[in-house]
Amino acid sequence: MRELVLSSLESEAEQLSDILLECGALSVSVEDADFNTENEKPLFGEPGTEPEVQAWTRNYVIALLPDDLTVEQLLSDLQSLTGKDFSTEAHIREVANEDWVRLTQAQFDPIQIAEYIWIVPSWHKENPQIVAANQNEKNIFIELDPGLAFGTGSHPTTHLCAEWLAKNVQQVNSVLDYGHGSGILAIIAKKLGAGNVMGVDIDEQAVTTGEYNAKNNYVDIQFMLPDGLGSGQFDIVVANILSNPLKVLAPMLAARVREGGHLVLSGVLERQADEVIDAYAPFIQLQVWQAEEGWVCLHGVK
């Protein structure tokens, strides 16, 4: 396979990407042409905020081409559709044929959290380390493959929330995982013995993924969109998202915690901790429970 690399301005990048896909490209990505220079410009939009711009000032638009699509034909189609001749600035690079499934799987090893919780991709179930760990009845195993929803267990914020749950969940507890992604924290809570466990996410794909992962791990958890949550309160509310949506959601999340219950928040950088704590101050007093690799887990009792 080959990649066609084109230069574009900010105003052209989105339209050019769409046209390349219409012309037969297998995929299109956009990169900052000034990456790793003094002119590099970060673009980042969190849920709850919109990025100021949709592309960089100068961009590389990179199209992955199928073997049966010639560069000459694609450039001719682009000129017809855009009125611009890209042939003088376009360049081609070869993409090595690889076993992409094997390479992707090799990036995800079993993850051990809080000494006895193991997150295991399905292709590692026969891993000698996992087979040996499975002999210890205390260990908890969660089968989870990387997918469309966030949450493989590898991120520090997931570690932090999972470690808090491992130290604090009791069998009588009801737990709400808000912004559940893959459902990993809800599944951990249920495996730890929590009673009623629910997950909420704004993404329908995440709800579907959570349901699949719960079924695959033989646990009973309700996953839903926010509209389906109702007005109940929980012993533990955990939300591992990002600082801006956490601040926006402060009144609602605090209201979901019963009196004497726990609120556990992560997805917050150390430098963002004070502003999140301030956002929740009218409802619940939070403090940093633990930090890892520049991220913090906040905890408070209502």
Q: Which residues are annotated as a binding site for S-adenosyl-L-methionine?
A: 158, 179, 201, 240
Give the Cα separation of 19 and 14 in Å (integer). Answer: 9
What the block records as the tokens of 155 is 């991120």
Sign of CA dihedral 137, 143, 149, 152: positive
Residue ranges of the annotated binding site are 158, 179, 201, 240
- Number of Cβ within 10 Å of residue 26's Cβ equals 13
Kindly give, in sequence order, each residue whose CB lies less than 8 Å from that of residue 180, ignoring residues fewer than 6 positions away. Answer: 151, 186, 199, 200, 201, 206, 210, 223
Element (H, E) at 19: helix 10-22
Give the Cα separation of 28 and 111 in Å (integer). Answer: 32
- Number of Cβ within 10 Å of residue 163's Cβ equals 19
What the block records as the tokens of 220 is 């009973």
Q: Write the DSSP string, 209-257.
A: HHHHHHHHTT---EEE-GGG-TT--EEEEEEES-HHHHHHTHHHHHHTE
Give the Cα separation of 104 and 191 in Å (integer). Answer: 28
Task: Measure CA 87 to chain center.
Answer: 38
Burial class (CB in 10 A: 0-12, 13-18, 19+), 173: buried
Give the Cα separation of 86 and 79 in Å (integer). Answer: 7
What the block records as the tokens of 59 is 């961009």
DSSP 187: H
